Amino acid sequence: MPTDVERWKDEVYGNEIRDHLMEFAEEGWDSIPEDEEDAWFERFKWWGLYHQRAGQESYFMMRIGTPNGVIEPGQLRVVGEIAKEYATGPVENPEFGEAYCDWTTRQSIQLHWIKLEDVPEIFEKLEDNGLSTQQACGDSWRNIVGCPVAGKDKQELVDAWPIARDLHDTFKGDEDHTNLPRKWKVSVTGCTEGCGQGDINDLALEPARKEIDGETVTGFNVRVGGGLSRKEPRLARDIDVFVRPDNADEVAGGLSALFREHGDRENRYNARIKFLVDEWGVEKIRRVLQEDFVDFDLHTAGEDLRDEYTYNTGSQDGHNDHVGVHEQADGNYYVGLNVLVGRMGAEDTLELADLAAEYGSGEVRLTQRQNIIVTDVPEENLDALLDEPLLEDYSPDPSPFMRGSIACTGTEFCSLSIVETKNRQVRYARWLKDNVELPADHEEFHIHLSGCTASCAQPQIADVSLRGMKTRKDGDPVEAFDIGLGGGLGEDPRFADWIEMRVAADEVPGAIANLIADFETEREAGETFREFVEARDEDELGELLDPEETDYEDPYMHNTKKTWYPYADDDNMDDSPAPTDGQGEPLPADD
Amino acid sequence: MLVRGDAYTNEAPEGPPMTTAVRILDDGAWISVDDERVVSVSELWQLADHDVCGCETADFLIEGFVDVDAAGPAVLVRAAGQCVTCGESAVSGWLPVGRIVGPDRRFASLATGHVRTPRA
Ligand code: HEM
Ligand code: SF4
Ligand SMILES: [Zn+2]
């Protein structure tokens, strides 16, 4: 028997959702029949709209998918204008103000507090400028990720940007691939540093070379079935296939069709392709792909470059997180700016759009570390760009604790969340910057904070992983974190080990400070933090991670999920203005 | 419309047919009753006479709903979570979350602090 979600998808899904969405928007929030809300909210995700959590009814999160994080000249201004005009909620956020954009861990853009009634105008403005929310959420091809400086970088085997672009153009809106059993996350990388994060995607194309008919061809090796969600993280597995850039869409489409036909539609918890790879093994995935889903003979895997990977290996080599000033292959420069927890105010976004146009080509790119890169800056413009006051807040040379912080959405908007995330991570980063000194050879130190086990902030691949929890402190329930250590990517990716559980949120900075102090004194010469963790067992690490209260203050210890908005002065559910009409005025309660 | 069982795992519900639509949404984040989102993850529930861990009263953090059913007027769920006293993770037995009451068939939620006992 199909699940309700599958039943709803059978009735209406994919492109056709749009007509209904537009009709509801025209007639207003109230026009969605109450007994169809569950079905419509599930479907709206396909068009990038995710209904916000309890207490925020009638407001939506809107995700805009920007393949490979590329925001073309002119588009950043459009995003900033939309955020300013439409992404303002009833109460402002104390750290980020009234309206803001989130740059996400999958190189997309998220806006909040969007009213259904505004969707037609927003879509028109986005689409007039080559942007779209199509398939940004829901059960289909999600935003394609990759090395954010593809085509610009000096260290690349293949320029993967045209391929990512082509996959995006091919599979967004393709009716054969719009209704998959679950989300389908793809990474395409051509650079030699490993920054596409292919290992944690459903499908990864990674750079490789292969001798074919006596000629060395460059292209990609294929891995399938990575992902971090729930407590079931998996690395993508090598299915022994090499693909030429020309054939990338046939192989990627073949795999997505295989998933469409064989993924589990009876149980959404078991639906991601990582579970099919568990069940079948890679040989069977390859065999079924060859027999039923592609028309030519697949090549066996080529020689990969994984032993050259530097990105998120803990080694501090290579361009790593892309923050800072780096020369491009064409002699221009790109300037990677740190955006703390990926959130940028709408006004700042508009100003950055101006700077990118003034000093570069107008293009910017989003990274999988929630940062933003201004590309194509001629050498003679560098000093002037670096002197701009905006770069004091979005620094190309930030403290390791600022540049290494990633946080997900959390209780501010997300229904799965257990704890407050972004505002807290801002406070953690500031406190750590002011109070903790890392060894001088550690410019990068990754702390990823996720509000629940869905792992949107990718905690398992960080030096310090924080995952939302609760505990009791002096008898009262308080927000807390499980703390993991030693995760990262590279040739031998490694998920963090969970070391200290249910640490009250106000004792986390103290725990990190104690750990780093011990690291500094106990490390071997030149030992990286990741190596230091790998060399120790759980008990030893537990002793180094010694949670304690410090002068760090946490305003979000109480159950922020129980509020209608964690930062409102009157934060009780009953004080919520939602649901509201198109003007943001509270609607009368239902009969 | 008659809808029972669970939008996510499709477990066959037991007991006589009900006219209450109960389902799990958004990857286990919500229990929806008659298309209204009524209970969400992240609550701490106290469990007595339970089998999630060895604690007399478990302090059970609800991390995700895995099953929902309407048994007569009572709405019951099974939830994945963790006892925050001892750290044990488990999927609970069928726990009450509230009841359908009155002629207008309103859902009345149990108070968060209510001590719950799983049904056999
Ligand atoms: C309102 C609810 C949610 C919000 C605001 C949210 C937010 C985000 C954001 C901003 C990202 C980066 C993704 C991108 O740009 O495509 C992300 C990724 C992710 N989301 Fe969510 N999310 C929500 C619900 C969920 C749910 C229901 C799941 C279910 C399992 C989930 C699992 C993930 C995972 C696993 C990742 C990234 C890690 C990976 O690539 O495997 N999220 N989410
Ligand atoms: S990790 Fe959990 S809390 Fe954070 S955005 Fe994802 S689903 Fe929400
Ligand atoms: Zn217990």
pLDDT, one tens digit per residue, over A2-23 is 788 999 999 999 999 999 999 9
Q: Tell the burial category of A328 from Cβ atoms under 10 Å away from its Cβ (0-12, 13-18, 19+).
A: middle
Of the partner residues B26, B35, B36, the one whose CB lies closest to the CB of residue A415: B26
Lowest mean pLDDT among A179-188, A555-564, B3-12, B97-106: B3-12
Length of chain A: 591
Ligand 2 contacts CB of residue A577 (under 6 A) = no
Q: Residue A167 in contact with residue A188, Cβ under 8 Å?
A: yes
Q: Residue A180 in contact with residue A264, Cβ under 8 Å?
A: no
Residue B1 banded pLDDT, cuts 50, 70, 90: very low
Q: Which of B113, B41, B25, B48 is nearest to B80 (CA)?
A: B41
From residue A370, give the alpha-carbon distance in Å to each of A110, A442, A480: 11, 20, 23
From residue A452, give the alpha-carbon distance in Å to each of A448, A470, A483, B41: 12, 11, 12, 10
Question: Which CATH fold would you assign to the domain A324-398?
Answer: Alpha-Beta Plaits (3.30.70)
Ligand 1 contacts CB of residue A416 (under 6 A) = yes
Q: Residue A210 in contact with residue A299, Cβ under 8 Å?
A: yes
Q: Residue A521 in contact with residue A555, Cβ under 8 Å?
A: no
Q: Is residue B59 part of a domain?
A: yes
- Is the confidence at residue A448, as pLDDT, over 80? yes
Q: Residue A529 in contact with residue A445, Cβ under 8 Å?
A: yes
The reply to whether residue B9 touches residue A453, judged by beta carbons under 8 angstroms, is no
> Token pair 């389902």 is at which residue?
B23
Q: Which of A38, A244, A113, A438 is nearest to B36 (CA)?
A: A38
pLDDT of amino acid B2: 32
Ligand 1 contacts CB of residue A106 (under 6 A) = yes
User: In this structure, what DSSP letter does residue A442 have?
Assistant: -
User: Interior CA angle at A495 toward A561 and A205, to 5°?
Assistant: 105
Taking the alpha carbons of A435, A436, A440, A442 in that order, is the dihedral positive or negative?
A: negative
A418's tokens: 């257990």
Distance CA A292, CA A511 (A): 53
The preferred substitution site among A102, A409, A448 for testing ligand 2, maximizing ligand atoms within 8 Å of CB, is A409
Q: Pairing relation of β-strands A59-65 and A464-473?
A: unpaired
Per-residue pLDDT, averaged over A183-196, amounts to 95
- Is the confidence at residue A158, as pLDDT, over 60? yes
pTM: 0.93
Distance CA B111, CA B115 (A): 9
pLDDT of amino acid B26: 86
Per-residue pLDDT, averaged over A391-404, amounts to 96
Q: Is residue B2 part of a domain?
A: no
Q: Which residues of B touch A419 (CB under 8 A)?
A: 42
Q: Which residues of B touch A37 (CB under 8 A)?
A: 35-36
Q: Which of A1, A3, A8 to mutate to test the interface with B (most CBs of B within 10 A)?
A: A3
Query: Taking CA atoms, what residue in B is nearest to A45?
Result: B26
| Centre of ligand 1 from the C-alpha of residue A454, in Å | 7
Chain centroid to CA A256:
21
A47's tokens: 């068009």
Ligand 1 contacts CB of residue B26 (under 6 A) = yes
From residue A439, give the alpha-carbon distance in Å to each of A302, A517, A522, A528: 39, 9, 12, 10
Phi, psi of A141 (to 5 degrees): -60, 115
Residue A591 banded pLDDT, cuts 50, 70, 90: very low
User: Could you give the number of structural domains in chain B?
Assistant: 1
Residue A446 banded pLDDT, cuts 50, 70, 90: very high
CATH class of A150-308: alpha beta
Distance CA A469, CA A483 (A): 10
Per-residue pLDDT, averaged over A434-459, amounts to 94
Residue B15 banded pLDDT, cuts 50, 70, 90: very low
Q: Which atom of ligand 2 is nearest to the CA of A455?
A: 1
Please state, rounded to an integer, the average pLDDT across all residues of chain A. Answer: 95
- Is the confidence at residue A542, as pLDDT, over 80? yes
pLDDT of amino acid B9: 55
Of the partner residues A3, A418, A502, the one whose CB lies closest to the CB of residue B87: A502
Q: Residue B42 in contact with residue A470, Cβ under 8 Å?
A: yes
The reply to whether residue A269 touches residue B35, judged by beta carbons under 8 angstroms, is no
Per-residue pLDDT, averaged over B2-6, amounts to 42
CATH number of A403-558: 3.30.413.10
Of the partner residues B8, B42, B84, the one whose CB lies closest to the CB of residue A3: B8
A201 contact B CB<8A: no
Per-residue pLDDT, averaged over A355-380, amounts to 98
Ranges in chain A annotated CATH 3.30.413.10: 150-308, 403-558
The reply to whether residue A471 touches residue B27, judged by beta carbons under 8 angstroms, is no
Q: Is residue B1 part of a domain?
A: no
Residue A388 banded pLDDT, cuts 50, 70, 90: very high
Q: Contacts from A211-214 at CB under 8 Å and sequence distance 24+?
A: A212/A299
Residue A559 banded pLDDT, cuts 50, 70, 90: confident
Q: Mind listing the pLDDT tens digit for each residue in A407-439? A: 999 999 999 999 999 999 999 999 999 999 999
B42 contact A CB<8A: yes
Per-residue pLDDT, averaged over A196-213, amounts to 96
Q: Is residue B50 part of a domain?
A: yes
Domain that holds residue B53: 7-116
A281's tokens: 């093994």
The percent of chain A in helix, strand and coil, each rounded to the nearest 5, is: 35, 20, 40
- Ligand closest in space to the Cα of A112: 1
pLDDT of amino acid B104: 84
Ranges in chain A annotated CATH 3.90.480.20: 4-128
Q: Is residue B76 part of a domain?
A: yes
> Token pair 């040739």 is at which residue?
A491
> Token pair 């992983």 is at which residue?
A465
pLDDT of amino acid B11: 53
Q: Which of A113, A121, A193 is nearest to A150 (CA)?
A: A193
- Is the confidence at residue B12, as pLDDT, over 60? no
Residue A26 banded pLDDT, cuts 50, 70, 90: very high
Residue A263 in 3-state DSSP?
Answer: coil
The DSSP H or E segment spanning A375 is strand A372-377
Taking the alpha carbons of A19, A23, A28, A30 in that order, is the dihedral positive or negative?
A: negative
> Token pair 């003034």 is at which residue?
A358
Of the partner residues B23, B28, B84, the one whose CB lies closest to the CB of residue A4: B23
Residue A519 banded pLDDT, cuts 50, 70, 90: very high
B29 contact A CB<8A: yes
Distance CA A560, CA A108 (A): 26
Atom 6 (ligand 2) nearest CA: A456
CB contacts < 8 A, A to B, total 96
- Is the confidence at residue A126, as pLDDT, over 60? yes
Q: Which of A470, A502, A574 to mutate to test the interface with B (most CBs of B within 10 A)?
A: A470
Q: Residue A221 in contact with residue A238, Cβ under 8 Å?
A: yes
B19 contact A CB<8A: no
Question: Which CATH fold would you assign to the domain A4-128?
Answer: Sulfite Reductase Hemoprotein; domain 2 (3.90.480)
The reply to whether residue A4 touches residue B35, judged by beta carbons under 8 angstroms, is no
Q: Residue A277 in contact with residue A237, Cβ under 8 Å?
A: yes
